Copies of this chain bind each other. A is one copy, B any other.
Amino acid sequence: MTDELTFVSSLARRLGPAPAGETWAGDDAAVVRPPAGELLLAIDPMVQGVHFLETTADVGWAAVARNVSDIAAMGGRPLHALVSIVLPPGADVALLLDGLVEAHEGLCPIVGGDTSSGATLVITVAVTGTVDGTPVLRSGAHPGDLLFVTGPLGGALTRPPPRLAAARAARRAGATAMIDVSDGLSLDLRRLADASGVGVALDAVPMADGASWDDALGRGEDYELIFAAPDRDAVLEAFASLEPPIEIGVCTADPGECRLGDGPLPEGGWEHRW
């Protein structure tokens, strides 16, 4: 019990005061202003022994960042985060706490949470967001739309940034479908194609420096975005002040098609998301 209390009261104390008219940690629920536009909602668990081994600051950061990336993948921006933590007895979570506070300051305000004891450390973050305009779903791609990724894949960065600016640019460029690469290019591209009822034909898979073929196809921890858009010039214009996205192929009219060059796109990736 002491571990839990120390953790949550330490976190709550370090979050700082809520803006006037809002109530953050410390009541039955947080009270915040609603957005004017659509409300986006995402949740994502990280489990010790599955997603991470040691409770470093990077884990606290990533627990928030992966949710922020889900909001980015809708063309949106994050508003508020809630943190739920299951703590085994004696867990040393000082660094995890540091990472959460850094995420609070750098990614998305943490406005509340709850904790419990338990045999395995699990950190679950839920994030709200909104979008200025229409959210970009996975399901809007049409045959003939071009396919882009926001950067080379399979990199092993320590704290990859959620691609918020790139996501906004893609939305402004008329992106018809978008998804973040959370389980690997193969799996996430198929999800976009299946949701849209299109096929995909890729020319190339852009690989990060030092990435293996398996890394590029099957790794999904760098928050790059895949998006479909009909107009190459509009994309280049919307990304004028950003790193330009990499064109990787085109959507086809055959929903079963999933091709890289003349062969099938190899399978890969982590299948545990909906």
Chain A residues with a Cβ under 8 A of chain B: 1, 4-5, 8-9, 12, 23, 25-47, 49-51, 69-71, 73-74, 76, 80, 82-86, 111-120, 122, 124, 126-130, 135, 137-139, 178-180, 195, 271-274
Contacts and interface: CB of A to CB of B under 8 A. Distances in A.
Contacts of A37: 34
Given A29-B41, A120-B122, 7 more contacts: A8-B273, A28-B71, A34-B35, A41-B80, A41-B111, A47-B119, A124-B124
Given A49-B118, A272-B117, A126 B129 contact: no
A116 B51 contact: yes
B1 A271 contact: yes
Contacts of A71: 28-29
Nearest to A112: B41
Most buried by B among A1, A111, A120: A120
B49 A122 contact: no
Contact of A43 (B124, B129, B273): B124
A27 B82 CA distance: 20
A137 B45 contact: no
Nearest to A117: B50
A264 to B, nearest CB: 21
A118 B115 CA distance: 18
15 contacts: A5-B272, A9-B274, A26-B274, A28-B74, A29-B41, A33-B39, A34-B35, A41-B80, A41-B126, A42-B114, A43-B112, A50-B116, A115-B274, A119-B120, A120-B120
B39 A128 contact: yes
A120 B50 CA distance: 12
